[in-house]
Amino acid sequence: MATKLEQYADIQALVRKEIETMFPQLYSQQATKYGVAKVPLHVHNGFDAPQIKASDVIASQAASGSITMSTTGQRYQIGLNVKPGSPFAPSIIRFNGIAVHSSTSPAITPDIRALVVGDAFIGPSFYLQPLTTSSVTVGGPPQVCVQSSSYICVNNSGAGPATQASVSEGHIVSVTFNGNIVARATIPDLDDFGANDNPLKDGNILVDVTLATNWHIIGNFLIM
């Protein structure tokens, strides 16, 4: 009859074999789930890893809409994070629209119109800096937001030039007429523009607007 020590030795061998058999399977099932294992760099191309459905990929969010801005000195807010559990942290903002001058309110009979396009990137970023007469380079102080815009203006008022066009940095909308700033929209930058605010605050994108008398900004924002 086997002694207790001999019986333990036999059981120990069986337990060790069982553990060695089950461990790879348990590790595969649980390690990644609890963040123990790191998934190596791979491509879901059917060879490195199984192919996946497009419907299983978490898509980036976007929002779009038309906004009329008619109050100078106003900080407008575009609300994004209103649905609990669905935080929206965009990095790209695109604007296409118009700046119009009208002596009537609302601006139903404009006599000066500017077609405007603008872009902004929210996140660590830089503006291009002059390098030589034929080159530029990334430089300057780090930015919270970089933005730029361009416009072409058609004047039917009978006073001043018939057309004007220009580009700008530092604003997603910037229109001048006869050398004066008449319509400007700026996503406030923590470092450069004196707003002392992050462009994203309490789930809103902030847009600071400056308008000359009887000027309005009407445009589509695409936020991604």
> For the chain, which residues score pLDDT lower than 50?
191-197
User: Which sequence spans correspond to the domains of the chain?
Assistant: 4-54, 60-223
- CA-to-CA distance for 100 and 97, rounded, in angstroms? 10
Q: What secondary structure does DSSP assign to 122-184, as a single string?
A: EEEEEEEEEEETTEEEEEEEEEEEEEEEEEEEEE-SSSS-SEEEEEEES-SEEEEETTEEEEE
- CA-to-CA distance for 101 and 104, rounded, in angstroms? 9
pTM, rounded to two decimals: 0.70
Interior CA angle at 98 toward 95 and 103, to 5°?
A: 145
Residue length of the chain: 224
Closest alpha carbon to 125 in 167, 168, 170? 170
pLDDT of residue 194: 44
pLDDT of residue 93: 96
Tell me phi and psi for residue 31, to 5 degrees.
Answer: -65, -50
pLDDT of residue 107: 56
The per-residue pLDDT for range 68-122, each reduced to its tens digit, is 999 999 999 998 876 655 667 788 999 999 999 987 665 568 899 999 999 999 9
C-alpha separations of 199 from 86, 92, 122, 153, 191 in Å:
19, 12, 8, 28, 11
- CA-to-CA distance for 7 and 94, rounded, in angstroms? 76
pLDDT of residue 177: 93
